[in-house]
Amino acid sequence: MILLKNYKLALLALGILMISSWVLIYYAYKNEVPVSEKTAVFSGEISDFINANIAENSVIILKASVTAVRDKELELGSEISVQYLESESQSFRDVEKGDFVLLKGIYLGYDDLFGEYKLINCILLDDE
């Protein structure tokens, strides 16, 4: 009788372990919402962006001129570094120094080492 009781407890513990593992895996691998579908908390120009108190990992929309074009990165107004998605490389390929762009991305924070603000996962938007 004691052996049967231990067997039931072991099956119950195994079941709980399997269910909790499935929940953790489902949560870890759930699809992330694309930047294009997220709501922006800020929309404006660089001067307004720098003066605003925006939390890190917030989605923002910026309208600015390109001051430098690097390998997979743009620089806006000599103060903001922009990294774009690999899927957006075709649309960013046409951007040149001096162009005026409207883009949407995730604000990563201020980089003290390089002295610039960082935006990641950026996409180009059409002028509205």
Residue 65 is predicted with a pLDDT of 92
Residue 10 is predicted with a pLDDT of 86
What secondary structure letter does DSSP report for 88? Answer: G
| 27-to-18, 19, 30, 31, 54 alpha-carbon distances in Å | 14, 12, 5, 9, 27
Q: Where are the domains of the chain?
A: 1-30, 35-124
Place of tokens 């003290």: 112
pLDDT-flagged residues of the chain (< 70)? 1-5, 127-128
pTM above 0.85, yes or no: no
Residue 127 is predicted with a pLDDT of 64
Residue 33 is predicted with a pLDDT of 82
Residue 30 is predicted with a pLDDT of 81
| 52-to-20, 24, 46 alpha-carbon distances in Å | 42, 37, 10
**According to the CATH classification, is domain 35-124 in 3.30.565.60?**
no
Residue 6 is predicted with a pLDDT of 77
